[in-house]
Structure 1
Amino acid sequence: MGWSTWSFVRRSPTAAKVMAQADAMKNSGLAAHGYTYVNLDDFFQKCDSNGFVVDGFGRWTVDTAKFPNGIKAVADHVHSLGLKFGLYVTPGIPENAVTKNTPIQGTSFHAKDIADTSKTERNFNCKHMFFIDYSKPGAQEYVNSFANLYASWGVDYLKIDGVGAADIPDVQAWRKALAQTGRPINYALSNNLPIANAQTWVDNANSWRTQGDVECYCSGQPNGVGYPLTRWSSIATRFNSVASWQQFAGPGHWNDYDSLEIGSGDQEIQDITGMNKNDIKRTQITLWSMAAGPLILGTDLTQLTSATPAAGVSTDKTILFNDRIIAVDQDGKAAKRIVNSGGGQVYSKKESDGSFVVALFNTNTSGSMTVSVNWSQVGFSGSGQVTDLWSGNSGGTVANTYSATLRPGETRLIRVVPGSGGGGGSTVEAEAGSIAGAAKVASCSACSGGQKVGFIGNGAANFVTLNVTPSAAGSRTLTIVYTLNGSRSFFVSVNGGTAVEVPLTGTSFATPSTKTITVNLTAGSNSVKFFNNTAFAPDLDKISVN
């Protein structure tokens, strides 16, 4: 999770611009929600008529007009904010290095010893990059010296661009080079990598771009600089990519669907008649999150801290700061497409706690449509307790089939907890409830869904109310999952009735404990309020009704 210069800053990065974006990531609250990397893409280098200007060992040099104190000064600023810094490279060796026959650091070899001057690599800036012949001694050492230079600057993330099947030796060499630096560096490949070589990307990198750029280059300005940054068609092509590449995603190795164009307001999306821009934004981050793909923003983050932000920025904040959506992305699981019919698509993945996350999309550009999915397609049968992850509202207990009527480009993202059948069993996450006063959602790695609700109690205004919907009335067992170090009490009220005190003990706010009580529920929706008017209550993870 983080930000890259390419979409908005594009071809004119400077130290001041990158540091301003890093400051905005920190000060806007993005960092507190997990956004970490500040990545400097292309066009930081110095060029002449023969390509990249090189240092004494044949490596790229920095354009000091843009970065007067070098790259390390920028990385140091980023690190001072508690963030991480990323940089960019492409395969090959510069023509200027070969022309000057620069030595390869730490060896007796030179640039001409390893260059294959019969072929030129793809490069999008200075160009003039020759292939490297990795059968020659000194080739790996050259890449090692490049990686060591970047590590000395404090690089935490490396994007190697212009990569294709012909560059597999470069991909492997850079993997080895990064490893020998001794510095943890996230390794990302770009772009439009062939799926035929997917296992190679998995074996060598942390992420890989599955398609070309999400940017539309449709501003009408030179090189497509400026707004809008993207359009619906550029996002919509990712649906098939998510479905095709799903099998290759896994911990430490992710399919990358390119930048999220959210954070600059409505100007970031090209107008399209009949479609709502906020629907498009929510669909983009929902699809990326269902795929567990990197969430790398491409927008102007200073809009998030501006006293006079562009139209739509306040909505962008609610989208980017929704921790329920972020948790879906960070769960380490890539969803499968289970419905693809007439523009209606559904993706599903099973969470470690046994719940399922399901996303429904209307990918058409006109006309609302009802998108439906059977629970049997998702992976269970019977009924399930539904929570809308965008709003946090309970959808009640839904039997057999779930449907949503969606505008063109709209999405519905739900978490469903399978029930126990006719008895109406259900589980409800605390963070999905109605949270009042000072009570708030907090991270909890051991908790269901990775979150809990804390700061309940110590005043009548601070409480959480959860809705459960059994299929029949009766006496039920309510299991309360909580965290606590010491002794505290919940007061529990069902449907506004007389509250019952539930004294609890625990040994850690990081380790969930359970307590069961008996409650009487009516048919249909029941509200269960957790509070303590005079003292702090435990933190609440979830409740289950059997």
Structure 2
Amino acid sequence: MTGTTRVRALAMAAVGLLIASAIPLLATARPAAASDNGQSVRPAMGWSSWSFVRRTPTEAKLKAQADALVSTGLRDHGFVYVNLDDFWQKCDDNGFVVDSFGRWSVDTAKFPGGIKALADHIHSKGLKFGFYVTPGIAKNAVTRNTPIEGTSYHAKDIADTSKTEKNYNCKNMYYIDYGKPGAQEFVNSWARQFASWGVDYLKIDGVGSADIPDVQAWDKALRASGRPINFALSNNLPVANASTWRQLANSWRTQGDVECYCGPGSNGSGYPLTDWSHVSTRFNSAASWQQHAGPGGWNDLDSLELGNGDQVGLTADQRRSHFTLWAMAASPLLLGTDLTQLDPVDKAMLTNDRLIGVDQDGVAAKRIVNSGVKQVWSKKESDGQYVVALFNTGTSGSASVSVDWSQVGFTGSGDVTDLWSGSHKGVIADSYGATLRPGETRLIRVKPADSLKVSAPSRAEGEQS
């Protein structure tokens, strides 16, 4: 074992022990027909380049964020993926510049060492490397009629030039006709290339119902690549196809981007990264997708915009609610902020292992109260305890939010711990309530009294703040 490999193995073992000690065992009940590729037994955690770096990723920027994951201690709390999103590719007037086998070429001005060198650096830090692609085959590959690696077929043999795929960068991507010989082999060649570069996570973007053949092809290709790769789908996927996404992939974006594109830079880049309206719309999608999440496949609510304080566009209360909803939904936790400028308030949030444990428990919560700005979510973990989140989703005015234990799933009394503060609130009878500021949340763990060695509750009223 090399020194680099040893460092990575030790770091990942430490992360595994930390997460295992912070959370209960996975619940045994799980949705049917999950992907059996062995990936993402728990939701992925890490960082993605899109929100902050946006259209200007470089080797130096990615290395700096990877280094910051380590130096800030976030890696040791489970944030291990460093995901390079779009705009790593080179374009000309006809779309993507391609290599000799019709695959996108790396923009070497941005990544002079190539993608493998970047992945190697990330791996040397005990981290994992994520990458990005969209469905289809590039116009330049078809124009040049590039060969498909390892076959006698060429790009024109598999391209459906009557239809163009969704692409957010160079565009000019044709559909692939998967009824044609060579189509699967083309995707296989791309997956082998990514595996040889050290990719651990692949996001395929611009996916809709019409792209199910592409998702099937990429699922097959990644399994055959010789490397374990976490397979993520994006974005705003239709819930009508949820069972298909779950069977083929490890996560799927349930809505469009969480970014507001309201910053002062080009294409709305820069701070703020998001706003409360973009976050709060996730409450409804999390509720509608809830039944489809479970080990091996997760409802992805998009980037977690914690790390840079108020300038991201959310107050501290809203950021805690943002994190709480993502954790209750068991969404992947992929940070979108600049980790080289980590705000101390946000660092305390992100290193709260009680919150991380709620996300990593393998259970997506149900919404049990939805009344105006008042929402309550609940989930039962495998040890019989419940996690309950109360929210005031409004932007003005306090709200008194309460829930009966019978709505949560048990009756009588419960022993309550506040998960944000870690404070023990004692045994509370019948119901729980809190007065919440606009955008504020309360997150508690409740152990039903029938599992306690006590004869009576010590108090009967809910906490008021």
TM-score normalised by the chain length of structure 1: 0.75
Q: Does the CA-based 8 Å contact 1:397-1:470 persist in structure 2?
A: no
The match for 2:405 is 375
The match for 2:452 is 426
Q: Does the CA-based 8 Å contact 2:149-2:186 persist in structure 1?
A: yes
* One-letter amino acid of the counterpart of residue 279, structure 2: I
- Deviation of 1:221 after TM superposition, in Å, equals 2.4
CA distance, structure 1, for counterparts of residue 313 and residue 306 of structure 2: 9
2:456 is aligned with 1:471: yes
What secondary structure is seen at the aligned counterpart in 2 of 1:45?
A: coil
The match for 2:363 is 333
2:109 is aligned with 1:65: yes
CA distance, structure 1, for counterparts of residue 265 and residue 459 of structure 2: 57
2:328 is aligned with 1:302: no
- Deviation of 1:220 after TM superposition, in Å, equals 3.1
Larger radius of gyration: 1
CA distance, structure 2, for counterparts of residue 524 and residue 198 of structure 1: 44
2:68 is aligned with 1:42: no
Q: How does 1:66-215 map to 2 (within 5 A)?
A: 66-215=110-259
CA distance, structure 1, for counterparts of residue 265 and residue 125 of structure 2: 34
Q: Does the CA-based 8 Å contact 1:144-1:180 persist in structure 2?
A: yes
CA distance, structure 1, for counterparts of residue 118 and residue 425 of structure 2: 47
The match for 1:15 is 59
CA distance, structure 2, for counterparts of residue 352 and residue 404 of structure 1: 26
Query: 1:174-230: CA deviations, max 9, x gaps?
Result: 000000012100000000000111111011000000000000001132201100000
The match for 1:464 is none
- Deviation of 1:266 after TM superposition, in Å, equals 1.6
CA distance, structure 1, for counterparts of residue 208 and residue 340 of structure 2: 34
CA distance, structure 1, for counterparts of residue 340 and residue 312 of structure 2: 14
What secondary structure is seen at the aligned counterpart in 1 of 2:378?
A: strand
TM-score normalised by the chain length of structure 2: 0.88
* One-letter amino acid of the counterpart of residue 426, structure 1: L
- Deviation of 1:86 after TM superposition, in Å, equals 0.3
Gaps of 5+ in 1: 271-276, 305-312, 428-468, 473-522, 526-546
The match for 1:513 is none
Query: 1:240-298: CA deviations, max 9, x gaps?
Result: 0110000000101000000000011221115xxxxxx1101000010000011100000
What secondary structure is seen at the aligned counterpart in 2 of 1:152?
A: helix
The match for 2:317 is 279
The match for 2:4 is none
2:99 is aligned with 1:55: yes
CA distance, structure 2, for counterparts of residue 217 and residue 375 of structure 1: 41
**Relative contact order (C-alpha < 8 Å, sep 6+): which is higher?**
2
- Aligned counterpart for 1:250 among listed residues 294, 300, 305: 294
Q: Does the CA-based 8 Å contact 1:386-1:417 persist in structure 2?
A: yes
- Aligned counterpart for 1:415 among listed residues 424, 445, 448: 445
Q: How does 1:293-372 map to 2 (within 5 A)?
A: 293-304=331-342, 313-372=343-402
CA distance, structure 2, for counterparts of residue 154 and residue 221 of structure 1: 33
What secondary structure is seen at the aligned counterpart in 1 of 2:132?
A: strand
CA distance, structure 2, for counterparts of residue 279 and residue 384 of structure 1: 26
Q: Does the CA-based 8 Å contact 1:470-1:524 persist in structure 2?
A: no
Q: Does the CA-based 8 Å contact 2:130-2:200 persist in structure 1?
A: yes
CA distance, structure 1, for counterparts of residue 246 and residue 459 of structure 2: 48
The match for 2:24 is none
Closer/same/farther in 2, CA of residues 53 and 255 from structure 1, 3 Å limit: same
The match for 2:307 is 263
CA distance, structure 2, for counterparts of residue 411 and residue 266 of structure 1: 17
CA distance, structure 2, for counterparts of residue 317 and residue 250 of structure 1: 28
* One-letter amino acid of the counterpart of residue 326, structure 2: W
CA distance, structure 2, for counterparts of residue 46 and residue 220 of structure 1: 25
CA distance, structure 1, for counterparts of residue 334 and residue 455 of structure 2: 41
Q: Which moved more, 1:178-187 or 1:220-229?
A: 220-229
Q: Does the CA-based 8 Å contact 1:209-1:257 persist in structure 2?
A: yes
2:256 is aligned with 1:218: no
The match for 1:292 is 330
Q: Does the CA-based 8 Å contact 1:383-1:398 persist in structure 2?
A: yes
- Deviation of 1:470 after TM superposition, in Å, equals 6.3
* One-letter amino acid of the counterpart of residue 22, structure 1: A
- Deviation of 1:342 after TM superposition, in Å, equals 1.9
What secondary structure is seen at the aligned counterpart in 1 of 2:224?
A: helix
2:76 is aligned with 1:32: yes
- Deviation of 1:128 after TM superposition, in Å, equals 0.5
Identity of aligned residues (%): 72
- Deviation of 1:119 after TM superposition, in Å, equals 0.4
* One-letter amino acid of the counterpart of residue 222, structure 2: L
- Deviation of 1:395 after TM superposition, in Å, equals 1.1
Q: Does the CA-based 8 Å contact 2:309-2:316 persist in structure 1?
A: no
2:415 is aligned with 1:385: yes
What secondary structure is seen at the aligned counterpart in 2 of 1:181?
A: coil
- Output the aligned Cα RMSD: 1.2
CA distance, structure 2, for counterparts of residue 4 and residue 220 of structure 1: 21
* One-letter amino acid of the counterpart of residue 355, structure 2: I
> Whose strand proportion is higher, 1 or 2?
1
Runs of 4+ in 1 over 2 A off after TM superposition: 469-472
Q: Does the CA-based 8 Å contact 1:91-1:170 persist in structure 2?
A: yes
Q: How does 1:449-460 map to 2 (within 5 A)?
A: none
The match for 2:21 is none
* One-letter amino acid of the counterpart of residue 248, structure 1: H
Closer/same/farther in 2, CA of residues 470 and 215 from structure 1, 3 Å limit: farther
Q: Does the CA-based 8 Å contact 2:388-2:443 persist in structure 1?
A: yes
Closer/same/farther in 2, CA of residues 119 and 407 from structure 1, 3 Å limit: same
- Deviation of 1:524 after TM superposition, in Å, equals 6.3
* One-letter amino acid of the counterpart of residue 107, structure 2: D
